[in-house]
Amino acid sequence: MKKIVAQQVVTVGSGVVALTEAQARPRAHNLELLKKGKDRSEYNVRAPIQFKAGEEFLYSGEVDKSGRLHDPDAEALAKLEFEDLIRAKTRAALESEFEERLAKALAEQEARLRAELAGK
């Protein structure tokens, strides 16, 4: 992990960070504890967290030339999870549409059969 000292407000959107208890507490709703440590614990960043200028933390990802923090592995995983979500929603929508069409076709077929039976 790399030691990061924020020069300005820094947003971390993904990856693993090592934070002190005091740093983790206000960000807990966006973190998932991975490994409890003596001075710092490691957390998976589940939603973006921010650090103010001067704050120090450890980060597993990379810092690009613009100073942006990112974790390519975590970003790739998030993209896959998003794609899975889209597939699941699309599948559910298609299944719902299929069920509606099937119900309509069955109702029409039942109406025709009733009409035929009534005419005999």
Residues near 115 by Cβ (< 8 Å), separated by ≥ 6? none
Instruction: List pLDDT tens digits, range 86-114.
Output: 888 888 888 888 898 888 999 999 988 88
Q: Which residue, 54, 70, 86, sits at the end of a domain? A: 70
Do 14 and 64 lie in a common domain?
yes
- As to burial, measured by CB atoms within 10 angstroms (0-12 exposed, 13-18 middle, 19+ buried), residue 24 is buried
Full residue range of the structural domain in which residue 95 is found: 71-120
In this structure, the answer to whether residues 66 and 80 fall within a common structural domain is: no
Confidence of residue 67 (pLDDT cuts 50, 70, 90): low
7, 57: one domain = yes
User: Both 55 and 20 in a single domain?
Assistant: yes
* Nearest in space to 20 (alpha carbons), one of 11, 31, 7: 31
Distance, CA of 60 to CA of 95 (rounded, Å) = 41
Q: Are residues 66 and 11 in the same domain?
A: yes
Q: What pLDDT was estimated at residue 38?
A: 93
Residues 34, 93 within the same domain: no
Which pair of tokens denotes residue 11?
């947003």
Same domain (yes/no): 6, 64:
yes
pLDDT above 70 as % of the chain: 84
- At residue 71 the predicted structure's pLDDT band, cuts being 50, 70 and 90, is low
- Could you tell me if 86 and 51 lie in one domain? no
pLDDT, residue 2, reads 85
Query: Locate tokens 């120090």: which residue?
Result: 56
Q: Give the span between the Cα atoms of 59 and 14, in whole angstroms.
A: 10
- The first and second tokens of residue 1, run together, are 């992990």
Which of 30, 55, 70 is the last residue in one of the domains? 70
User: Is 91 in the same domain as 66?
Assistant: no
Distance CA 32, CA 40 (A): 14
pTM above 0.95, yes or no: no
Q: Could you tell me if 76 and 66 lie in one domain?
A: no
Q: What does the pLDDT average to over 25-38?
A: 95
Both 40 and 88 in one domain: the answer is no
Residues 80 and 116 placed together within one structural domain of the fold: yes
Give the count of domains, the chain: 2
